[in-house]
């Protein structure tokens, strides 16, 4: 389920965790709302903030180390693509949307629909969305919902951190004195603000694409994808309405046979 902790993304993950806890420590050491509450014995908000930071770090590692849906053999590919047995391949009705299952030109394995080979991870990934350098892992069928959940929790941490940093900014008689006394918190506030902006854009775009039941790769490259390039600009064969798309993404566990959805046989979960 999880990849090697000490893989190629070790430095990225280490830097992320170190930066997270350095900023958290700065918010506690300076004259912020958190420090005042801690000194007064009001520990509810400080403890909740630390717990939320800890949850965000744990989610980060889960998404970063989780198998996003790597295709490792043709045998497993048959189970997911054909619906467990070869006989079910004949049950898929003929359609004017002709489609041939293709072999990956890199790993030479058969690709189920909506999968793509990642040049960085060197594997084909089911329901490939994108390769994220932030987590140094692909976002695919198995970890996409956890990635969205991580973004939501991370956004809460960043917004709360922005508020805490703001409460620690004091006043001074002169501009140089103000910068000297508030410089560190000001840098933290700016960094948190920039990160929050990035996370808002990421979270918003992913929720939008999920509501359409499409992926970042399909949205950006639909003109080159065999099963989408014949569709109209506003046509998506996987779209079942925003409510059902969101429900299926967040609440339905299992692997969807996308060939069945594509041919209007329904998204049966195996």
Instruction: Give the model confidence (pLDDT) of 114-173 as tens digits.
Output: 999 999 888 999 999 999 999 999 999 999 999 999 999 999 999 999 999 999 888 877
Q: Alpha carbon 98 to chain centroid distance? A: 32
- Residue 104: the pLDDT is 82
Closest listed residue to residue 138, CA positions, set 69, 76, 74:
69
- Residue 15: the pLDDT is 92
Question: Residues of the chain with pLDDT > 70: what percent?
Answer: 84
* For the ranges 60-69, 102-111, 220-229, 253-262, the one whose mean pLDDT is highest: 60-69
- Residue 253: the pLDDT is 84
Neighbours of 154 (CB within 10 A): 25
Question: 196-224 pLDDT, tens per residue?
Answer: 999 999 999 999 999 999 999 999 998 88
- Residue 86: the pLDDT is 40
Distance CA 103, CA 93 (A): 22
Paired residues of 132 in beta bridges? 137
Instruction: Give the pLDDT band of residue 261 (cuts 50, 70, 90).
Output: confident
CB 170 within 8 A of CB 31: yes
pTM confidence score: 0.84
- 235 Cβ contact list (under 8 Å, min separation 6): none
pLDDT surpasses 70 at 85: no
Please provide residue 213's backbone torsions phi and psi, each rounded to the nearest 5 degrees. Answer: 55, 50
Return the active site residues: 132
- Residue 242: the pLDDT is 94
* Mean pLDDT lowest among 14-28, 78-92, 134-148, 163-177: 78-92
Neighbours of 216 (CB within 10 A): 17
- Residue 78: the pLDDT is 47
């Amino acid at each position: 389920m999880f990849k090697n902790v000490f893989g190629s993304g070790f430095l990225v993950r280490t830097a992320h965790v170190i930066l997270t806890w350095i900023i958290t420590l700065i918010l506690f050491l300076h004259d912020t709302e958190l420090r005042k509450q801690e000194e007064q014995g009001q520990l509810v908000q400080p403890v909740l903030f630390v717990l939320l930071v800890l949850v965000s770090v744990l989610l980060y590692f889960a998404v970063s180390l989780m198998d996003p849906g790597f295709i490792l053999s043709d045998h497993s590919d048959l189970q997911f693509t054909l619906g467990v047995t070869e006989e079910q391949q004949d049950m898929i009705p003929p359609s004017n949307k002709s489609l041939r299952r293709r072999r990956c030109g890199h790993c030479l394995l058969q690709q189920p629909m909506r999968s793509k080979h990642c040049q960085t991870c060197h594997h084909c990934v089911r329901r490939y969305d994108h390769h994220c350098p932030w987590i140094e892992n692909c976002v695919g069928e198995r970890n996409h919902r956890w990635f969205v959940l991580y973004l939501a929790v991370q956004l809460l941490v960043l917004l709360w951190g922005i508020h805490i940093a703001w409460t620690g900014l004091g006043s001074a008689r002169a501009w140089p004195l103000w910068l000297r006394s508030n410089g560190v918190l000001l840098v933290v506030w700016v960094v948190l603000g920039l990160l929050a902006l990035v996370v808002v854009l990421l979270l918003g775009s992913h929720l939008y694409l999920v509501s359409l039941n499409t992926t970042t790769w399909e949205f950006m490259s639909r003109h080159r994808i065999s099963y989408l390039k014949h569709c109209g600009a506003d046509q998506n064969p996987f779209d079942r309405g925003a409510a059902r798309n969101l429900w299926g993404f967040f609440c339905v566990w299992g692997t969807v046979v996308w060939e069945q959805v594509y041919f209007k046989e329904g998204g049966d979960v195996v």
